[in-house]
Amino acid sequence: MTTKVKGLKAKYNIGIDIGGTTIKAGIIDEKGEFLELDKNAFDVFPVEVRDNKVIIETKTDISGKDFIYGLSDLVAYIMIANKLEKANINSLGICAPGWIREGDWVYCNSIPNVSGAHLTKDLENMLGIPVYAANDAKAAAVAEYEHRKSLGKSMLFFIVGTGIGGAYIDKNGKLFESDDNFNLEVGHTVVDQGASTRDCNCGRKGHFEAHASTITLVNMANEKYGWTQDEKQFLVTIHSFNDLDEIGKEKVWWGINENQVEYAVNLLNQESLNPKVSYGELLTRFRFLLEKNDTHNMINKIMDGENVDDSMLKDCAKQLRDKYEWIKNGETIYGAAKAGNQEANELINDQIEQLAIGISNANAIMNSRQIVISGAMSKSFDFIKDRLIKRVNEMRLSPELKIEITAGQVQDGGILGAAALYKQYGKEKVRSARVQGKF
């Protein structure tokens, strides 16, 4: 509540977690907990407030400078809505995907326009409070380490989701830093350069995240068990029947999403459509006409065909739908595996093997007894835990090495870790800046 703040000398830290689609921020109190926010106080600002977090959309099409103005506005809204003054704020911490070096956002794959932005310097000038910034995996590791009260132990931290990020915190609780601070990029270490090597987002091949991330699991499921190109084309064709003029020929080639499938399957199941040809025949006709670039004609011919076989089409629709249901995303694949789907289990076994290789590689370098798997994968961790631990133990360099692998426990680790960054970097910086009268 805002009333808690009034008259307090206590210092708060604001944490901001920049993601590819949303930017989330929170005010963190001295106990490391989210300050309760009064939603109504934010009414006049263009933000969403949910679970004591302030959320805005990530604009990827603006310049780095405008992006920083946006962050500055966000902090201003948070301070105004909560009647906070500069004196109440100990620091602003920011975490973001990509490479952050001494407060500069050197490069970000998902938001390329920000490359080179001076995150901390510009925001300090705009806001007059100390600002710290780190890569998002590193900030999340800081939050996880604090939550676990791990002092005295090191921690090797992985975020496994659409990509794989990493961080290492030493026995004294210090986040590992290097010359350019572009380290623990575990997702881009090589795990496979053989015949089955896969392309990585970074442009190279065989990298850990190209073989073990959740998105790879879904891609592999699609490649092995998903719709064939013909089936996709067929579904999109059926889908585009009603409004082909709007959609146009090009869209026929686009990928297909869940809504399109539902739509297509519904269409297939409608008696009124009364298709007059078999599924196989539809595909053959479709391919032939597509080659001729005659989409309108194609649709008409398909629908005017002969050999009515509704049951076959319905059956086909069901097959296509069933085929799709379990490979929609990581969660559905894990759900299928838990329900005994053999194909899903085989895919997950492959993923576990790749995870074990990547984790073992990183741990051969960092040697930590405490390994944490965070991100989307932590939700499915219980299901793979035993197999993963077994394989990592089989791959370790000596049986003397004790390795404990657990799932991440912290929600909103990005915000919490960002808000705690000042402890990693901060004391001298704040002191020297205060002496200079900067803050």
Binding site residues, Zn ion, CB under 5 A = 188, 200, 202, 207
C-beta of 207 vs 239, nearer to Zn ion: 207
Rounded to a whole number of angstroms, the minimum distance from the CB of residue 358 to Zn ion is 12
Rounded to a whole number of angstroms, the minimum distance from the CB of residue 198 to Zn ion is 10
Rounded to a whole number of angstroms, the minimum distance from the CB of residue 188 to Zn ion is 4
| The three-state (H, E, C) secondary structure of the chain, written as one string | CHHHCCCCCCCEEEEEEECCCEEEEEEECCCCCECCCCHHHHCCCCCEEECCEEEEECCCCCCHHHHHHHHHHHHHHHHHHCCCCHHHEEEEEEEECCEEECCEEEECCCCHHHCCEEHHHHHHHHHCCCEEEEEHHHHHHHHHHHHHCCCCCCEEEEEECCCEEEEEECCCCCECCCCCCCCCCHHHCECCCCCCCCECCCCCECEHHHHHCHHHHHHHHHHHHCCCHHHHHHHHHHHCCCCHHHHHHHHCCCCCCHHHHHHHHHHHHCHHHCCCCCHHHHHHHHHHHHHCCCHHHHHHHHHCCCCCCHHHHHHHHHHHHHHHHCCCCHHHHHHHHHCCCHHHHHHHHHHHHHHHHHHHHHHHHHCCCEEEEECHHHHHHHHHHHHHHHHHHHHCCCCCCCCEEEECCCCCHHHHHHHCHHHHHHHHHHHHHHHCCCC
C-beta of 121 vs 198, nearer to Zn ion: 198
C-beta of 188 vs 423, nearer to Zn ion: 188
C-beta of 69 vs 107, nearer to Zn ion: 107
C-beta of 198 vs 438, nearer to Zn ion: 198
Rounded to a whole number of angstroms, the minimum distance from the CB of residue 207 to Zn ion is 3
Rounded to a whole number of angstroms, the minimum distance from the CB of residue 351 to Zn ion is 17
Rounded to a whole number of angstroms, the minimum distance from the CB of residue 177 to Zn ion is 22
Residues whose CB is less than 8 angstroms from the CB of residue 421 and which lie 6 or more positions away in sequence, other chains included: 91, 93, 95, 132, 133, 134, 139, 142
C-beta of 142 vs 377, nearer to Zn ion: 377
C-beta of 190 vs 407, nearer to Zn ion: 190
C-beta of 120 vs 213, nearer to Zn ion: 213
C-beta of 200 vs 336, nearer to Zn ion: 200
Rounded to a whole number of angstroms, the minimum distance from the CB of residue 348 to Zn ion is 22
